[in-house]
Amino acid sequence: MTLGRPRDPSTQRSILAATRALLATAGYDQISIDAIAREADVSRPTVYRRWPSKAHVVFDAVFGAAEGGDILTGTGDFATDLGHFVRGVCEFWRDPVVAGATMGILADRHRDPALSIRTQQLLDEDTRRRFGVIVESGIDQGVVAPHVDVDMLWDVLVGTALYAVQVQRRDDVTDVAERLCALATKGAAIRPEEQP
Amino acid sequence: MTLGRPRDPSTQRSILAATRALLATAGYDQISIDAIAREADVSRPTVYRRWPSKAHVVFDAVFGAAEGGDILTGTGDFATDLGHFVRGVCEFWRDPVVAGATMGILADRHRDPALSIRTQQLLDEDTRRRFGVIVESGIDQGVVAPHVDVDMLWDVLVGTALYAVQVQRRDDVTDVAERLCALATKGAAIRPEEQP
């Protein structure tokens, strides 16, 4: 390889696809750079030229491939868009490849400050920004409180979904998503119209 | 040791204390049953007689020792009790021993169905039951909606705290707890008195 020659993007894609294939059948701790290189039919140095460790390859294979576009719609109806987003997040966390990788990557962070910073946002900035657009449209439609805490709303939806689906292993994501949306929008406090 | 002789509870306590001491300084993946036995000054079989694997010892050392009583008060004022609980949960997740163990245990689950079942509830049933008592008292005080989804409220508070503190690494637990309580109780939707 000539110095400075651009890296072949198809090699990168096949390494990431090989990593996802391995994650679908083996645990994160059972996977190595060696196994990834073998599965992608490339050499170990070819992998190491692109990523400093297994955790970083897995991070890109799982979270880099996430299609925020699929779960972020803009139908114009806030309840529909919110429900679609929360159900999509629950299904994302439940995906066997994602579930296998998430906790392994998070457990590896303490050894790697760069990885630690990357994992502070598991879903990407673009997904987060587009979630903000849905909330803004809810405010415009008069169904979301104008001064809603958007960052905390994101944490509640994404974090609770992670906990319910990956920690508690709830299978019924439709039920989790509906109940989470209901509580996050209406809240637990008595509303004036409910007062006894 | 005579067959059937009861196990010495002080040995169990010192193994769990040794495990916590190791977790405070080393990563979960750097700890072994060997290291735990050495730190506790017992033999490997002494540890293996009580726990089938490292993950189970760590689980008991971290989650068995959690004092739900400290974070569950009953002052009679719902907002005070809820704030105290949520802040306590955030501080629990932020504790270096807890943070070091949680993701490692969760990452090890796929190899061990018994561990998988245990980790579906990281905080114990008694803590959950006592949380229900606080919510009930909020309903009695007329500040919590009578038909509130208590299980989802628990997931929102415990899961969001886990995500904010352990995944996003938010340092300011007071801020996280206050904003989480505010959103979980009031919700994101416009309330009648806020309508434009």
pLDDT value at residue B71:
72
Chain A interface test: which of B82, B135, B160, B186 (most A C-beta within 10 Å): B160
**Which has the higher per-residue pLDDT, A70 or A130?**
A130
CB contact A5 to B (< 8 Å): no
pLDDT value at residue A108:
86
Distance between CA atoms of A139 and B189, rounded to whole angstroms? 9
Q: What is the mean pLDDT of chain B?
A: 88
Total residues belonging to chain B? 196
* Span A72-84, average pLDDT: 86
pLDDT value at residue B3:
54
CA distance A53 to chain B (A): 16
Range with lowest mean pLDDT among A92-106, A141-155, B26-40: A92-106
CB contact B196 to A (< 8 Å): yes
Distance between CA atoms of B194 and A18, rounded to whole angstroms? 52
pLDDT value at residue A1:
45
3-state secondary structure of A189: strand
CATH number of B66-186, picked from 2.40.10.220, 3.40.30.10, 1.10.357.10, 3.40.50.300: 1.10.357.10
Share of chain A above pLDDT 90, in %: 60
With cut-offs at 50, 70 and 90, classify the pLDDT of residue A37: very high
Nearest to B177 by CA among B20, B73, B102, B71: B71
CB contact B148 to A (< 8 Å): yes
CA distance A156 to chain B (A): 5
pLDDT value at residue A53:
92
Contacts of A159 in chain B (CB under 8 A): 159-164, 167
- Inter-chain residue contact A185 with B186, CB threshold 8 Å: no
Rg over alpha carbons for chain B, rounded to the nearest Å, is 20
pLDDT in tens, A93-127: 998 889 889 988 988 887 888 888 888 877 777 78
Distance between CA atoms of A37 and A51, rounded to whole angstroms? 12
Instruction: Please check whether residue A110 is in contact with residue A116, taking contact to mean a CB–CB distance below 8 angstroms.
Output: yes
Distance between CA atoms of B156 and B150, rounded to whole angstroms? 10
CB contact B58 to A (< 8 Å): no
Contacts of A103 in chain B (CB under 8 A): 103, 106-107, 109
Contacts of B188 in chain A (CB under 8 A): 135, 138, 144-145, 148, 153, 184-185, 187
Inform me whether the pLDDT recorded for B48 exceeds 50. yes
pLDDT value at residue B32:
95
- CATH of the domain spanning B9-53: 1.10.10.60
Element (H, E) at A45: helix A44-48
Q: Does the CA dihedral B40-B88-B108-A168 come out positive or negative?
A: positive
Range with lowest mean pLDDT among A133-142, B44-53, B86-95, B98-107: B98-107
* Span A126-141, average pLDDT: 90
**Other beta carbons within 10 Å of B139:** 18
Total residues belonging to chain A? 196
- Inter-chain residue contact A192 with B192, CB threshold 8 Å: yes
- Inter-chain residue contact A195 with B28, CB threshold 8 Å: no
Inform me whether the pLDDT recorded for B42 exceeds 90. yes
Let me know if B147 is exposed, middle or buried by CB neighbors in 10 A (0-12, 13-18, 19+).
Answer: exposed
A151 CB-near residues (< 8 Å, 6+ apart)? none
Element (H, E) at B146: none
Inform me whether the pLDDT recorded for B69 exceeds 70. no
Distance between CA atoms of B153 and B137, rounded to whole angstroms? 15
Let me know if B22 is exposed, middle or buried by CB neighbors in 10 A (0-12, 13-18, 19+).
Answer: buried
- Name the residue in chain B with its Cα closest to that of A25: B110
**Other beta carbons within 10 Å of A72:** 19
pLDDT value at residue B138:
95
- CATH 1.10.357.10 in chain A, residue ranges: 66-186
pLDDT value at residue A71:
72
Which residue intervals of A49-77 are DSSP H helices? 54-59, 68-71
Contacts of A135 in chain B (CB under 8 A): 188
Half-sphere exposure of A120 (CA within 13 A, CB side): 10
Contacts of B160 in chain A (CB under 8 A): 152, 155-156, 159-160, 163
- CATH 1.10.10.60 in chain A, residue ranges: 9-53
CB contact A169 to B (< 8 Å): yes
**Backbone phi and psi for residue A154, each to the nearest 5 degrees, phi listed first:** -60, -50
Nearest to A89 by CA among A109, A117, A64, A70: A70
Six-digit token string for A2: 């000539």
pLDDT value at residue A75:
82
Inform me whether the pLDDT recorded for A6 exceeds 70. no
pLDDT value at residue A22:
93
CB contact A122 to B (< 8 Å): yes
CB contact A137 to B (< 8 Å): no
Share of chain B above pLDDT 90, in %: 60
pLDDT in tens, B145-170: 999 999 999 999 999 999 999 999 89
C-alpha of A187 from chain center: 25
